[in-house]
């Protein structure tokens, strides 16, 4: 009985969406923490330009992003052709392509959260740790990150929610293959197109519940106005 | 402490420039640099600690060449073996008193545990009467306790000299007198050389075996305390 329930298209789409969102968020965390720290702490020419470029996915139409992604990871794309030639890997119309699309679209949320969080950490604390003999990476792990993690995690949760809802770019690079690349948001679109209102209702409710839960968690983690309390 | 400093650094901010030219040679155990805020005292202290790099010159403390622009020497702050007491103490807000004191004793990538123990931690908790607040976080401490934790944290790794940046400015006037006496006794007991920067003539009176005056980035010797008094008036 549970098995047949889990085989429902809606649950398959939910599981796929969760998988895609998890991987996308992990990727974003990795790059977002590194680049957010760089932007918050290092002075270099073109710093604000880099920030603007990395924030672009937030304001660009998803279709434009999807097109850029095809140019880069498509069969004839810069990286896509190389992957095909060297490893025989084709990313287009796979769930991995959906991960890349979601990661790119949601990246600015992690980056902004991480940069803001690192900027609130008093540099004097890092200097104090340095004088006490702690290596630069040790200072980052022992002082900077523990004082910034709330902001970083808040950004990551927003990115997770955004990844769950990603539609346009995902459709262009991953398509809509049921059980393989058809995520929750794409399944909603297909269900409405096919006039399957029951199925659409269920999918919409699931999406809403997951997103609300994630947003509540993100709000709880957002740096408290009074951290001493 | 054998200390020998001769450094220069130019800071530019928009159209304004600030020129630091600091010379200091001393074998005194207690050196005080006195001057108004904005004179470049903090910049000098940060250069000694390795937190700021001078444009030119050399820094030598206790027989070790820490910086020499000519010889290409610039020992990283991590390996200068100096203690630094920040004006507002810069205690790690996410770590309790124990962890703060043990911070420099445990190298590597992980912080000491909340229940960290050991001979050094016990010694410093006792020396500064901090046992009953050992598990508390910095924001739960009084001003005097914060300063004690900061001193214990700085001294625990057994540094070769103690650098102090306006150590009593963050305290209530009533407490200042007491903490001065405490630092005085501590310095005598440990025999650790110290370099203190301040704009408070009281600090000069209490610790100034060798006093220098700093203004607009330049330094001059002070032999006569009257100059300090007159400047204050």
ipTM of this model?
0.90
Question: Which residues are B34's β-sheet partners?
Answer: B198, B213
Q: How many residues does chain B have?
A: 233
Chain B residues with CB-CB distance to A226 below 8 A: none
Give the residue extent of every domain in chain A.
2-221
pLDDT tens digits along A202-224: 889 988 998 898 888 888 876 55
Q: What is the mean pLDDT of residues A54-65?
A: 91
**Within-domain flag for B88:** no
Asked if residue B135 belongs to a domain, the reply is: yes
Q: Are residues A133 and B90, on separate chains, in Cβ contact within 8 Å?
A: no
The residue from B139, B157, B175 where one domain ends is B157
Query: Mutation test of the interface with chain A: which of B109, B116, B141, B163, choosing the one with the most A Cβ atoms within 10 A?
Result: B109
Could you tell me which residues come within 8 angstroms of residue A78 by beta carbon, excluding any fewer than 6 positions away? A71, A72
Residues whose CB is less than 8 angstroms from the CB of residue B22 and which lie 6 or more positions away in sequence, other chains included: B5, B6, B7, B8, B40, B44, B47, B214, B217, B218, B219
> For residue B122, is it within any domain?
yes
* pLDDT of res. B30: 92
Task: Extract the residue ranges of chain B whose pLDDT is less than 70.
Answer: 1, 223-233
B87 within a domain of the structure (yes/no)? no
Indicate the residue among B157, B187, B211 that finishes a domain. B157
**Contact indicator for B35, B41 with CB cutoff of 8 Å:** yes
pLDDT tens profile B157-199: 999 999 999 999 888 888 898 899 999 999 998 889 999 999 9
Domain boundary among B102, B127, B157: B157
- Give me the number of domains chain B comprises: 2
Same domain, B188 and B227: yes
Smallest Cβ–Cβ distance between B109 and the set A132, A137, A228 belongs to: A137
Instruction: Clarify whether residues B68 and B101 are in a common domain.
Output: no
- The domain in which residue B142 lies consists of 94-157
CATH number at residue B52: 3.40.50.300
Chain A CB contacts of B114 below 8 Å: none
Euclidean distance between CA atoms B125 and B223, whole angstroms: 39
Calculate ∠ Cα A101-A104-A105, nearest 5°.
85
Q: Which chain B residues are Cβ-neighbours of A124 within 8 angstroms? A: 86, 88, 90
Both B64 and B9 in one domain: the answer is: yes
**CATH top-level class of A2-221:** mainly alpha
pLDDT tens-place string over residues A113-155? 999 999 999 999 999 999 999 999 999 999 999 999 988 998 9
- Whether B110 contacts chain A with CB within 8 A: yes
Helix crossing, A47-59 with A95-119: angle to 10°? 130
pLDDT at A89 over 80: yes
Contact A12, A179 (CB under 8 A): yes
B89 belongs to a structural domain = no
User: From the CA atom positions of chain A, what is the Rg in Å?
Assistant: 20
How long a stretch of residues is chain A? Answer: 229
In which region does residue B172 sit, left (phi positive, over 0), alpha (psi from -120 to 50) or beta (all else)?
A: beta
Share of chain A above pLDDT 70, in %: 93
- Encode A58-97: b = buried (16+ Cβ within 10 Å), e = exposed: eebebeebbbbbbeebbeebeebeeebeeeeeebbebbbb
Cβ distance B62 to B193 under 8 Å? yes
Inform me whether the pLDDT recorded for A48 exceeds 70. yes
Judge if B165 and B203 occupy the same domain: yes
Other beta carbons within 10 angstroms of residue A152's beta carbon come to 22
- Give percent of chain A with pLDDT exceeding 90: 55
The CA distance from A103 to A31, in Å, is 10
pLDDT at residue B228 in the model: 61
Query: Nearest 5°: CA angle at B202, between B170 and B164?
Result: 50
B169 phi, psi to nearest 5 deg: -65, -30
């Amino acid at each position: 009985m549970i098995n047949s329930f889990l085989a429902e298209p809606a649950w398959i789409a939910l599981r796929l969406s969760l998988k895609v969102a998890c991987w996308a968020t992990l990727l974003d965390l990795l790059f977002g923490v590194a680049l957010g720290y760089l932007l918050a702490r290092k002075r270099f020419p073109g710093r604000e330009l880099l920030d603007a470029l990395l924030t672009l996915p937030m304001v660009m139409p998803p279709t434009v992003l999807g097109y850029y992604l095809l140019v880069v990871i498509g069969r004839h794309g810069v990286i896509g052709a190389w992957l095909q030639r060297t490893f025989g890997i084709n990313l287009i119309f796979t769930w991995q392509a959906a991960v890349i699309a979601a990661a790119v679209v949601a990246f600015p949320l992690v980056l902004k959260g991480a940069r803001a969080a690192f900027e609130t950490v008093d540099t004097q604390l890092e200097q104090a740790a340095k004088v006490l003999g702690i290596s630069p990476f040790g200072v980052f792990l022992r002082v900077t990150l523990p004082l910034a993690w709330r902001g970083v995690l808040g950004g990551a949760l927003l990115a997770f929610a955004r990844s769950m809802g990603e539609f346009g770019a995902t459709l262009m690079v991953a398509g809509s293959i049921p059980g393989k690349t058809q995520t929750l948001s794409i399944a909603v679109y297909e269900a409405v197109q096919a006039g399957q209102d029951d199925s659409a209702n269920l999918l919409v409710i699931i999406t809403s519940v997951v997103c609300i839960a994630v947003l509540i968690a993100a709000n709880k983690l957002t740096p408290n106005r009074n951290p001493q309390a | 402490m054998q200390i020998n400093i001769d450094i220069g650094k130019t800071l530019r901010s928009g159209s304004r420039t600030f020129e630091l030219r600091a010379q200091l040679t001393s074998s005194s155990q207690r050196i005080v640099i006195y001057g108004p805020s904005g004179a470049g005292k903090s910049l000098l202290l940060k250069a000694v600690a390795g937190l700021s790099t001078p444009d030119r010159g050399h820094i030598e403390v206790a027989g070790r060449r820490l910086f020499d622009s000519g010889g290409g020497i610039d020992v990283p702050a991590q390996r200068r073996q100096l203690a630094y007491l920040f004006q507002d103490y810069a205690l790690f807000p996410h770590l309790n008193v124990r962890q703060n004191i043990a911070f420099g004793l445990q190298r590597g990538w992980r912080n000491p545990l909340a229940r960290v123990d050991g001979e050094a931690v016990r010694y410093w908790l006792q020396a500064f009467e901090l046992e009953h607040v050992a598990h508390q976080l910095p924001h739960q401490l009084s001003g005097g306790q914060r300063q004690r934790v900061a001193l214990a944290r700085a001294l625990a790794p057994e540094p070769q000299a103690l650098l102090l940046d306006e150590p009593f400015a963050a305290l209530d006037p009533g407490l200042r007198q007491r903490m001065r006496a405490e630092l005085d006794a501590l310095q005598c007991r440990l025999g650790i050389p110290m370099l203190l920067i301040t704009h408070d003539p009281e600090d000069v009176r209490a610790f100034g075996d060798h006093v220098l005056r700093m203004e607009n980035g330049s330094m001059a010797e002070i032999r006569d305390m009257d100059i300090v008094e007159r400047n204050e008036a």
